[in-house]
Amino acid sequence: MKVLIGVSGSVAAYKSLILARLLFKRGHNLKVVLTRGSLHFVAPLSFQELAGAEVFTEGDFFRGNTHIDLARWPDLFIVAPATFNVIGKVANGIADDLLTSIAAAYNGPIHFAPAMHTEMWRNPILRRNLSTLKRFGHVILPVGTGELASGDVGEGRMMEPEDVAAYVEDVGKLRSFWEGKRVVITYGGTQEPIDDVRVITNRSSGRMGIALASALTSAGAYVVAIACGDVDVAPARELHRVRTVEELYEVLKGMDYDYLFMAAAVSDYRPEYRKGKIKKNSESLTLNLVRTRDVLTSIAGEKRGIIVGFALEEPHRLHTEAQRKLREKGIDYVVANPTEVIGREETRVFLYGREGLLGEFSGAKWEVARQIVRALASV
Ligand code: CTP
C-alpha cells in the first residue's frame, strides 16, 4: 500500500520512526511529511535510511504543487503522532504548513494517532475538535494510558507503533476485497414536509453511515454517499443529498452498486402536505399521516448487488425482527442495533445473513463499521 505518514512535533515522533520501519519491512511504500516541530525530535535521514521513505519538510511546501501531489498519492494517510495543535488546525480548516495543507486537500478519511499530555487530552476544546474530525469520517485511533514523557502516568500516549502497523495491515487486507467495488451508502434521517416551513423527521445523526463510508473509502471502495436531511458530509467519491423518502427512492432506483448499505432512518409515515404555512387558529391541530414507500422493498425487486439493511429494535425482539426484515425485504444482510444505543458514542450491533447471526460487534462507531466491513469481506 502507498502510506503517507505525517509526523507532528511530539516526543512520540520516535514511535513513527518505528512505525515507518515496520511498514517498510512489510513491503509498504512510504512517504513521510515532517512538520517544523517534529524536526526537534526526528531527522529526515532516519526515515530515509530506516524505511526507504521519501521525506518532505517545510522547504518543499512552495516547490510546485507538493501538497496537492502528496494529497493525491496515498492509499492511506496517517498522522502519527498527532499533536493537540495539528488536530486543532485540521479540525478548524487551518492549512498554514505542508502537513495541514495536504490534510486540507486530501479527499478521504485521515487517521490520527494522538499523543499529548493528559491535561491536553482532556481539554474540552480538543474533545470538540476530535468530534468535529469524527463527524466528517476521520478516524481517531485510541490513545494508551501509561507513563508520559514528563514522567507522569495518565492517558494520552500515542498508540504503540506495532498496533498502528497492525491496523494498517488490516486495512490492506480489506482492500484486497473492497478495492474498486462500487458501494452506495444511505445515511441520516429523511424529512417529510408538513407545510412549506415545517417537517417531520427523526433524530438519526448519520454517524454509523459516515463511519461505514470512512471504513469503505479506506478499504479502497468507490463510495457513493446519499445523505438524508441535514447530516454531515461523509467521505465519499460522490455525495447526493435528499430530504424525502420519494427523493431517496428516485436517486436510488437508477443506481448501480456492488453493495448497498441502507443505513438511513427512513420515515415510515408522512403528513399530508399542506401548501403555504399552517396558521395557529385553533387549540389543537391534527395531522393525518400516510404510509411512505418502503424503499428497500421497492428496489430489492430489481436488485443490482448485495443489499445490507439496518434495523433499530427494542432488545427483546431484535433477533426475530432482524430476521423477519431480512426475509420480507428480500435483502442479504441486516445490521441490527438495540434501541438502548441511541445517541451514544459507542454502539453495539448484530450482523445477520440469510443463514442467521454472523457476528456481534461493539465499540466506537468507526471500529464497529470496520468490523462489519471485515465480516462482509470474509463471508
Ligand atoms: N427502510 C426503507 N423504507 C422505509 C423504511 C425503512 O427502505 N420506508 C429501510 C431502512 O433504511 C432500513 C430497513 O428498511 O435499512 C429497516 O428499517 P426499520 O425502520 O428498522 O424497519 P421498518 O421496515 O420501517 O419496520 P418498523 O418501523 O416496523 O420496525
Residue 328, classed as helix, strand or coil, is helix
pLDDT band at 154 (very low <50, low <70, confident <90, very high): confident
At residue 293, φ and ψ (nearest 5 deg) are -70, 145
Task: Determine the pLDDT at residue 149.
Answer: 82
pLDDT at 74 over 80: yes
Give the number of the atom of ligand 1 that is nearest the alpha carbon of residue 293.
8
Task: Determine the pLDDT at residue 221.
Answer: 97
Give the number of the atom of ligand 1 that is nearest the alpha carbon of residue 296.
7
Summary mean pLDDT of the chain: 95
Q: Cell 485540521 sits at which residue?
A: 90
Residue 292 in contact with residue 267, Cβ under 8 Å? yes
pLDDT at 318 over 80: yes
Does the beta carbon of 368 sit less than 6 angstroms from any atom of ligand 1?
no
Give the number of the atom of ligand 1 that is nearest the alpha carbon of residue 292.
8
> Cα separations (Å) of 69 from 66, 73, 171?
5, 6, 22
When mean pLDDT is compared across 87-91, 151-155, 182-186, 241-245, the lowest value belongs to: 151-155
Distance CA 130, CA 146 (A): 21
Residue 320, classed as helix, strand or coil, is helix
pLDDT band at 198 (very low <50, low <70, confident <90, very high): very high
Grid coordinates standing for 80?
502519527
Residue 76, classed as helix, strand or coil, is strand
Does the beta carbon of 116 sit less than 6 angstroms from any atom of ligand 1?
no
Report which of residues 30 and 150 the model is more confident about: 30
What spacing in Å lies between the alpha carbon of 295 and ligand 1's midpoint?
8
Residue 22 in contact with residue 160, Cβ under 8 Å? no
pLDDT at 342 over 80: no
Dump pLDDT digits (tens) for 229-238.
999 999 999 9
pLDDT at 379 over 80: no
What spacing in Å lies between the alpha carbon of 296 and ligand 1's midpoint?
8
* Structural domains in the chain, sorted by start: 2-173 (3.40.50.1950), 179-378 (3.40.50.10300)
What spacing in Å lies between the alpha carbon of 341 and ligand 1's midpoint?
17
Residue 42, classed as helix, strand or coil, is coil
> What pTM, to 2 d.p., does this model score?
0.92
When mean pLDDT is compared across 119-128, 177-186, 339-348, 365-374, the lowest value belongs to: 339-348
Radius of gyration in angstroms for the set of CA atoms belonging to the chain, rounded to a whole number: 23
What spacing in Å lies between the alpha carbon of 185 and ligand 1's midpoint?
15
Task: Tell me, rounded to whole angstroms, the distance of Cα 133 from its chain centroid.
Answer: 9
What spacing in Å lies between the alpha carbon of 340 and ligand 1's midpoint?
18
Does the beta carbon of 5 sit less than 6 angstroms from any atom of ligand 1?
no
What spacing in Å lies between the alpha carbon of 294 and ligand 1's midpoint?
7
> In terms of Cα–Cα distance, which of 294, 218, 216 is closest to 260?
216
pLDDT band at 97 (very low <50, low <70, confident <90, very high): very high
Q: Which of 231, 268, 298, 351, when mutated, tests ligand 1's pocket best, judged by the most ligand atoms within 8 Å of its CB? A: 268
Distance CA 254, CA 259 (A): 14
Residues in the chain: 379
pLDDT at 202 over 90: yes
Task: Tell me, rounded to whole angstroms, the distance of Cα 315 from its chain centroid.
Answer: 26
